[in-house]
Amino acid sequence: MSSAAQAYARVANTTSSPRDIEAQALLLAANKLQAVMNNTDATYTQMSEALMFNRKLWTIFLSEAQREENPNSLEVRQNIANLGVFVLSQTTALQMSPQREHIKPLIEINRNIAAGLSGRG
């Protein structure tokens, strides 16, 4: 199991709401990305690990959005899929050409979605 999936499962054991689980996983990914962005001495490996965690998490979301059994409306699933494709493409671009300032949109997306899931948005 990947580290993102393990973190997702770990969080799932401590909360009951799937929305809370997703929000907490997104905040964990955002915090990992924020730590790399704040650390001017962060190595490529550290940045890559944070980006990979985020990518794996969004791969899970994208897979779930494509499942026919997903209880969300088609419109919501399409929005999640579109956002997932954007996040994955940005992550790939950052892994090929690391630029610390380009991490910020990924952090903001994760935090905004987490806030919405937890009812704070």
Token output for 64:
């779930």
Radius of gyration of the chain (CA): 14
Closest CA relative to residue 89, chosen from 63, 43, 54, 45: 54
The neighbour count for residue 41, using CB atoms within 10 Å, is 5
Token output for 85:
């494709």
Tens of pLDDT along 65-111? 998 888 888 999 999 999 999 999 999 999 898 888 899 999 999 99
Q: Taking a C-beta distance cutoff of 8 angstroms, is the pair 25, 54 a contact?
A: no
Question: Residue 11: which CATH number?
Answer: 1.20.120
Total domain count for the chain?
A: 1
Angstrom distance (rounded) from CA 117 to CA 121: 8
How many degrees, rounded to 5, is the angle at CA 94 between CA 7 and CA 100? 90
Tens of pLDDT along 5-16? 666 566 555 545
pLDDT at residue 15 in the model: 47
Give residue 97's domain range. 3-117
Angstrom distance (rounded) from CA 19 to CA 69: 17
pTM of the predicted protein model: 0.81
Angstrom distance (rounded) from CA 84 to CA 10: 22
